[in-house]
Amino acid sequence: MIKSYTKIIVKNNVRIYISDYQKVAQEILTIHKYTPLASLILANGIATFGPVGFLYDIKKVSFLMKTNGAIKTFLLEFQNNNIRALLGDGSVITEYDENGMFNDIPLILGIGDEGLLRVSRFVESFPYTSEVPIANGDMITDLVYYLNKSDQVFSAVINDIQLNKKNHLKVDKAKSIIFQLMPNHNEADILWIEKLIENNDFKNLDLIEYINLIDGEELKHQEVISKCNCTSKKMLDAIKLLSPKEHNNLFLKNENIEIKCDFCKKTVSMNIKDYN
Ligand SMILES: [Zn+2]
State the CATH number of the domain containing residue 127.
3.55.30.10
Rounded to the nearest angstrom, the distance between the alpha carbon of 236 and the centre of ligand 1 is: 13
Q: How far apart are CA 73 and CA 110, in angstroms?
A: 10
What is the number of H-type helices and E-type strands within the chain? Answer: 9, 12
Same domain? For 83 and 219 the reply is: yes
Same domain? For 264 and 153 the reply is: no
Same domain? For 179 and 253 the reply is: no
Q: Is the pLDDT of residue 238 over 90?
A: no
Rounded to the nearest angstrom, the distance between the alpha carbon of 38 and the centre of ligand 1 is: 20
For residue 270, the enclosing domain spans: 232-274
Same domain? For 252 and 139 the reply is: no
Q: Name the strand (E) or helix (H) holding 156.
A: strand 155-163
pLDDT, tens only, 182-215: 999 999 999 999 999 999 999 999 899 999 999 9
Rounded to the nearest angstrom, the distance between the alpha carbon of 179 and the centre of ligand 1 is: 32
Same domain? For 219 and 265 the reply is: no
Amino acid 257: pLDDT:
80
Number of domains in the chain: 2
Amino acid 214: pLDDT:
96
Q: How far apart are CA 146 and CA 180, in angstroms?
A: 13
Q: Helix (H, G, I), strand (E, B), or coil: what is residue 35?
A: coil
Query: Over the chain, what is the mean pLDDT?
Result: 93
CA dihedral 184, 189, 194, 196 (to 10 degrees): -130
Q: Which residues pair with 177 in a beta bridge?
A: 18, 158
Rounded to the nearest angstrom, the distance between the alpha carbon of 229 and the centre of ligand 1 is: 6
Question: What's at 234, amino acid-wise?
Answer: K
How many residues appear in the chain? 276
Rounded to the nearest angstrom, the distance between the alpha carbon of 248 and the centre of ligand 1 is: 25
Same domain? For 206 and 252 the reply is: no
pLDDT band at 275 (very low <50, low <70, confident <90, very high): low
Residues with CB under 5 A from ligand 1 (ion): 228, 230, 261, 263-264, 266
Q: Are 189 and 216 in contact (CB under 8 A)?
A: no
